[in-house]
Amino acid sequence: MGLLRMLFVWWHNATPGTLLTTWLRGVSVGTDAFGNRYYRTKDGKRRWVLYRGTVEGSRVPPEWNGWLHHTFKDPPSEPAEPRSWEKDHLPNLSGTEGAYHPEGSLARGGVRPPATGDYESWSPHA
């Protein structure tokens, strides 16, 4: 099952092609706080990440995202000092227990607050 899962279930780990490219042409550049590993080709033209866990682009912190997209020439050497208004980076939590569910959603019991009387339904004959 392990080999079949690796071949066909790409969202759980890197594909065999990515692993082969990493092994043959990849130069390790660093690791982020989530355990993701970053690589580049020897000539520096291509950059990629091997995710730790689920393959999800929102799991890449901003400083590494900038490096992956060639916004920054050099990879981050250490995490940037957060500004007072910044929150910690969170990956996309949609579909997980940590997902946001607004008041009235079915995931929170589906009870909406009563209408306030400021709504009037549309009528084609009005």
Please, are residues 103 and 112 in contact by the beta-carbon 8 Å criterion? yes
**Across-strand partners of 31?**
37
Q: What length is written for the chain?
A: 126
Question: What are the pLDDT tens digits along the chain (126 aa)?
Answer: 465 555 555 556 677 778 888 888 889 999 998 899 999 999 989 999 998 887 888 888 888 999 999 998 999 987 777 788 888 877 788 888 888 888 778 888 777 777 777 777 788 986
Dist. CA 72–CA 53, nearest whole Å:
25
Would you state the pLDDT for residue 1? 47
Where in the chain are the domains? 2-78
